[in-house]
A and B are shown apart, each in its own frame.
Chain A
Amino acid sequence: MYVMEIKLGQLEDVSDVYNYYGKRPESGIQQREGKKAPTPRADKARQLYLEAKSSVSVEFPYWYTRRWEELEGEVPIIRRAEALKSGFAHLTPAILPGELLVMRKANYLRGSYPMPWLSEAFLLSKEDDLFKTAHKASADDITTIGQGGGNVTASVGNVISIAGKFGLRKEEIPILIKTAKRWLNRSVEDIGHKYEQLVPGYGTKEEIMRAVICMFDSGYTLPQGREVLNYYYPLQFGINGIKEICSKNLNNVAGRPGMDRLYFYKAVHTMLEGLQTWIKNYSEEARLMASLEKDETQKAEYHEIAERLDWLSENKPGTFHEALQLVWIFHVAVLNEDAISGLSPGRLGQVLYPFWKQDMAKGILTKEKTIELLECMRIKFTELDCFASMGVVGGVLSGNTFNNLCLGGLDKEGNSAANELEMLILESAMSCDTPQPTLSLLFDEKLPEEFLLKGVECTKIGTGYPAWINNRVAMEFLLNNFRKEGMESEEARAWAIGGCLETSPGSWMPLELNGEIYNIPGGSAPASSVGVHFISLPKVLEAVLFDGLDKRTGRRVYPAHGSELTTYEEVWTVFKHYFSMTVEVLTLTNNIQHDIWGKVSPSIINSMLKPDCLETGRDISHKGSRYNRTFNVEVCGGVNLVNSLASIKKNVFDQKSISMDELKTALKSNFGYLSALETGSYSLTEQFKTDEYNYWLRIHKLCLDAPKYGNDDKYADNIFREWQQWVSKMCENYRSMYDEPLYSCQISVSTHAPMGAVTLATPDGRLCGTAFADGSVSAYPGSDRHGPYALFNSATCYNHALSQNSQLNMKIHPSVVMGREGSRKFLEMIKAYLRKGGFHAQFNIVDSRMLRDAQINPSNYRGLMVRVAGFTQYWVELGKQIQDEVISRTEYEQLG
C-alpha cells in the first residue's frame, strides 16, 4: 500500500502511520522469535556496556603530540612512528572484572579520543570564534543524533558534551584545545586544504560541500577503514618475529636505492616497541587487579591475563584464546592510528579456525568455552567508538563503527569455507546480540544448508545480521577491477566485506601451526572506500531543475546550464553534466587530501599488517598493498533520483499533465506541506498541511502516482538501469591518486537522512527535508506495492557486479518467518534474490509498531536493535531522522 494520503500529525493515533505490504496486522505488537541468553559473564559485561556513556580522553593525543613536537625535522614516517609509540606506551590500562579479552582504545569502556593530527578545526571551532567558520562542515548543522543510550548529548556537571555524543571531563578541555592548536596548519586537514585549493574549479567544490551535495571529505575525516584487516603476520610471527623481519629487511635496504623502505621498516619496528609497552602495561595492571582481588577464581583469571599478555607482547599465539586476544590487540592498535570507520575483522572464523581446531582436538577447549569467548569478543567490538564531528559520527555513521565479520564464502580451492567455528560465531551472535561485530554471510551455492539455516535463524530474531551477500557477484566485481594488479579466481575467493558493505580484495596467507599449514584469508588492500564520499543524487537533480542553484540557501553551486529543459533527454543530459562536474572536482581534491595524509601522517600499523607492505617496504599510501584500485564514488538517494526522473518523464513530457514550471513551483511550495525541518518528522507518514495544500494536491498526486522503482515496472526500471549502467562506466573516467580508475559504490549508511534534510521536495512526491530511500536498491518506503519478488525483479534489472555493492533493506513482520517452516520460506526467498544476481539483502524482522512504541518510550527499549543500512544499531542511539525513516519502511506481511 503506497502512502497516498499522508497522515497529518495524528500523533495520538499511531495505528495508521505504517506502510504495509499484505494484510495489516490486527493483534498487538508482535514480539520477535525467542532470543537466547548469553553466558552470565557476557550478560554482566553487556549490562556494564549498556550503562556506559561514550567518553573521550585526551591521553593519547597529548602524548602523541608531545613526542611529535620533540622530533621537529625528523623523517615524517619516523616521527609518526615515534608519536604512535609514545601514545600507546602512555595509555592508562583499564581491566574490568570478568573480562577474558582485555585492552581497549582508551581508558574508558566506550573510550575514544580526538586525533588532531588529522583534523583539529572541529575542536577549535568549539572554543575559538576564529575557527567557527573555518572548514566548518555544513553537514553538522543538519544532523540529528540519538538522544538515548550511551550518547552524552548535553553537558552535565564536570562533563562536557562534544559532537552531541561524547563526554569529556571539563578539566581536560584546556589541554585538548592547547593540543589541538599545535596542529593548526600542520594537520592533514589544514595542509590538504591548502593544496586542494589549487585544483581548478575549487570554488565549485566549496559550494558543493556547503550545499551538502557531498557529505564529507574522506582524506582527513576517516582516511582509513571500509576495509578488511589482515592478522596473518602477528599470528604467524608474533611481535618479535615481525621486528626481526623489519631488522633484516632494514639491513638489506639501508643506503640502497628506494630509501623510503629504510624509513618504513624503521617506523614499523619503532611502532611495535610502543605496542609492546602498551601490552606490558596491561599485564602489569592485571597483576595489580589480582593483588586486590579476594575471589580466587577472578584472581586466577587476572594472573592468566597477565601471563597471556606477557607472552603475546613478544611471541606468536599457540592457542585459540591467545590468537583471539592478539587479533583484538592489533584491531584496536589500527583503530588508534587514525579516525577509522569500517575496519572489518573479515573472515575471522576462518582465520582462527586452525587454533580452534587444534585446541578442540587437544581437549583444552570446549564449545561452551568458545561461545563464552566469542560473546566476550562481541562486547569488545561493540565498545568501539570513533570520535568525529557530529556530521560524520551522527550523519554518516549513526554512532556505529562497522566492524564486519564475514562467514562462509569459498576456500582457496573453491569449496565451501564455512566451518564449525563459524556456526559458533552465529550462535554467540544470537545469544549475545549486540550491534558489533555485524555479520555478513557470503552466500554461495556450495554452502551447506545447515549453515544457511543457522544464518536465517540468527537473522530471524531481529539482530539485523547476518546480511546476505552474493559471493559470485563480488568475485566478478573483484576480477573486473583487480585483474590488472594480478588477481585471479583463486585469490578473488579470499575477499570479504570491509565496513558495512564494501567489497574488499583479500589474499590467502600460509599460516603454520604445529607443523600444519592453513591458508587463511585476510584483507589485502587499503581502505576500499575513500575518494568521493556520498553525492546526493536528488540534490544534484534539484540543481538541474533550478539552473545550478541550491534552493535551500539560494547560493549558486554549478554554472547556470541555461537549458530550458524542454525534453526529458535535456534533463538527463544536464544531470549527467552536473554529476560529472561533481565527481571530477571531488576526485581531484580528495586525491590531494589523501596524498597529504600519506605524506604527513602515513599508516604504519595497518600497513604492516597488509600484504605485501612488509615485503615491499612501502606503506599502503605508497601502493605497498597487493591491490590498490580502491578509490570510489559513493552516491546516495539513487532510488529517489530514479523515481523523480520517472515522474518528470511521465508527467511533464509523456503525458504533459504538469508543466516544468508548475512542477518547480510545486517543489518549492513543498506540495502544500510544512517541511520536515519545521515539523521534526522525517518520513512521509506524518506530515502537516499548510493552507496551500489543496492547491497543490493534484500535482502531488500525479507525482506520487508516477511509476516507481520496486514494482517490476519497466517504465521506472529502464530509467534505473540506464542510471546504473551510466554511473558505473563514468566513474572509470576519473583516476585516483594511485592512478587507477574509480568504481561506483552504492550504499547510504545514514546519509540518506541528513542529505534528505537539506533537499527540497522531489518530483517523485517526497517532501522537503524528509529522508531519501535507504541503500541503493531498497524501494522508497511504501512505494513497493507488488511484493518482494517484484522488488527483486526491479533490483536486478542491471548487473550488480558493475558496482562495488548494492544494498537492499527489507522489513518483515516477525510472524511471517516464525518457526522452522518460516525459516525455510525465508531462506528460499533470500536465495531467489541472490540467484537473480542481487548482491546484498538484509532484514529487519520487526513489528513497526514496536519501533513506534520505542520512539515514544525509549527507556523500555535500551537493548532494541535495528538494521539501518549495512549496520545494526541500538534504536535509542539513532537520530530521529533515521528512526522515522526505518519506521516508515514498507513492512512485509507476506513473502509471496
Chain B
Amino acid sequence: MNHYDCKYYLNTDVFKGLCKRDKSSINADDQACENFVNARKCKYCSNFTLISTDLGTCMNKYDAYPEMSAVTCNEFS
C-alpha cells in the first residue's frame, strides 16, 4: 500500500503531501510505513461495486470510483 491510501495522508497536491502523524513530507505514490491505516475510500465501502478498473457504482445506482474519499460520506459502511 502507498501513502495515498493511508488515513494519515494529508495531500498538499496531486503528487505529494504530509503525514498527519509526524508532519513529514511524503509522496502520494511511495510505499506506506508500518503505521498505515486504510483511508476511508469508496473502495473499502460495502455500498461500492467495482465494474471496471477505475469505475464502479454506489448503492447500485450512482456512478462512483474506487479511489474517491468517503471521509464525509454518511453512507459509508
Residues of A within 8 A of B (CB): 48, 51-56, 58-59, 62, 66, 89-94, 96-97, 107-110, 150, 152, 156-159, 167-169, 171-175, 178-179, 281, 288-289, 292
Contact = CB atoms under 8 A, between A and B. Distances in A.
A171 B29 CA distance: 12
Given A158-B29, A178-B63, A292-B21, A53 B69 contact: no
Identify whether the interface residues of B are mostly helix, strand, loop, or mixed. loop
B14 interface: yes
A765 B67 CA distance: 56
Contact of B18 (A93, A96, A169): A96
A292 B20 contact: yes
Contacts of A91: 72
A175 B54 contact: yes
Interface residues of B, number: 28
B14 A55 contact: yes
B6 interface: no
Nearest to B2: A158
Interface string B16-43: 0010110100001100000000000000
21 contacts: A48-B12, A66-B62, A93-B72, A97-B18, A97-B23, A107-B69, A150-B13, A158-B14, A158-B28, A158-B29, A169-B14, A171-B54, A171-B65, A171-B67, A173-B54, A174-B65, A175-B65, A179-B63, A281-B72, A289-B20, A292-B20
Nearest to B73: A90
A735 B20 CA distance: 55
Given A56-B14, A157-B15, A171-B67, 10 more contacts: A48-B12, A51-B12, A91-B72, A94-B11, A96-B10, A110-B13, A167-B13, A169-B67, A175-B55, A289-B20
A297 to B, nearest CB: 14
A97 B23 CA distance: 8
A209 to B, nearest CB: 32
A107 B11 contact: yes
Contacts of B8: 292
Contacts of A48: 12
A167 B14 contact: yes
A90 B72 contact: yes
A108 B67 CA distance: 15
B50 interface: no
Nearest to B66: A171
Contact of A92 (B20, B55, B71): B71
Nearest to A98: B23
Nearest to A281: B72
Most interface-central of B52, B68, B69 (chain A CB within 10 A): B68
A92 B69 contact: yes
A178 B15 contact: no
A761 B45 CA distance: 61
A178 B57 CA distance: 12
A96 B23 CA distance: 9
Contacts of B23: 97
Contacts of A97: 18, 23
B11 A108 contact: yes
A582 to B, nearest CB: 40
Most interface-central of A54, A55, A92 (chain B CB within 10 A): A92
Nearest to A182: B63
A97 B18 CA distance: 9
Chain A to chain B: the 3 pairs with minimum beta-carbon distance, closest first: A167-B14, A53-B13, A175-B65
B11 A172 contact: no
Nearest to A91: B72
B68 A52 contact: no
Given A107-B69, A158-B28, A172-B67, A152 B20 contact: no
Nearest to B29: A158
Nearest to B10: A94
Contacts of A178: 55, 63
A53 B15 contact: yes
B69 A59 contact: yes
A56 B14 CA distance: 8
Contacts of B20: 288-289, 292
